[in-house]
Amino acid sequence: MTLENISCNKSFGGWHKQYRHDSSTLGCTMRFAIFLPPQASEQQPVPVLYWLSGLTCTDENFMQKAGAQRLAAELGMAIVAPDTSPRGEDVADDAAYDLGQGAGFYLNATQAPWARHYRMYDYVVQELPALIEAHFPVSQRRALAGHSMGGHGALTIGLREAARYCSLSAFSPISHPVACPWGKKAFTAYLGEAPQHWREHDASLLMREASQGLPTLVDQGLDDSFLTEQLMPEQLELAAQHSGYPLTLRRHAGYDHSYYFIASFIEDHLRFHARHLGLTG
């Protein structure tokens, strides 16, 4: 598969690069960003943290606002940030910010007109890692993290595809989407009106039934305006207690839903993943 490099910036001895490629999974042109630490080489491939962003975001939000490159360079960890949905003139869209382009919800849509392009689950799980591992000096040791809608994606994908990842983390995830407005709207559009088709994309329901799990860290700000209606972290916590899932859920007074919150605790998440990726003891 051909990659087109569209930007390149040196950062903390490594390189931040953006690429464009034609996705066979999504049927459109996609963009992603990758940070390669200075340790990355063909002789020393490095593990990868895949970051999934939230509603309205692109690959740029995390890479430009989170401040993750310094510690990633020190640890020897690559970071890959895909876009949040398929995009293009022939890709279905909606006028609202929480449906359509920028709001892929990291699932495979089954309903028209979304099913033609909206297959972000397969893109994140299969196509993107295969592309990254074929073109860059990285290993098959992967971790998965995200924010808000991307936190939902990281948790649900990690819960369903545990063999592919070493660890999971999330900031302010949509923890129980079958019961919140964002989730109900997106799932009805993408998956249809039957709630039984929504369950496999709900982190709380998946975690409640999990027989084994990956080390998982979740951070939630208590001044998050979406906390009660949309995010419902208490449901995730109850699910982990029920199944014995290895979840650490931390609550932080005064923090909101923004990248100021993410930047404040991203180093904790990178060190958490580094331990499970075998980069530190």
Q: Which residues are catalytic?
A: 148, 224, 257
State the DSSP code for 230.
I
Place of tokens 């990842």: 165
Give the span between the Cα atoms of 38 and 42, in whole angstroms: 12
- Identify the CA nearest to 152 among candidates 115, 179, 127: 179
- Identify the CA nearest to 106 among candidates 61, 161, 150, 50: 150
Secondary structure of residue 64 in the 3-state scheme: helix
Confirm if 54 and 86 have CB atoms less than 8 A apart: no
Confirm if 156 and 148 have CB atoms less than 8 A apart: no
Instruction: Compute CA distances 156 → 117, 144, 146, whole Å.
Output: 20, 10, 11
Neighbours of 253 (CB within 10 A): 7
Confirm if 10 and 17 have CB atoms less than 8 A apart: no
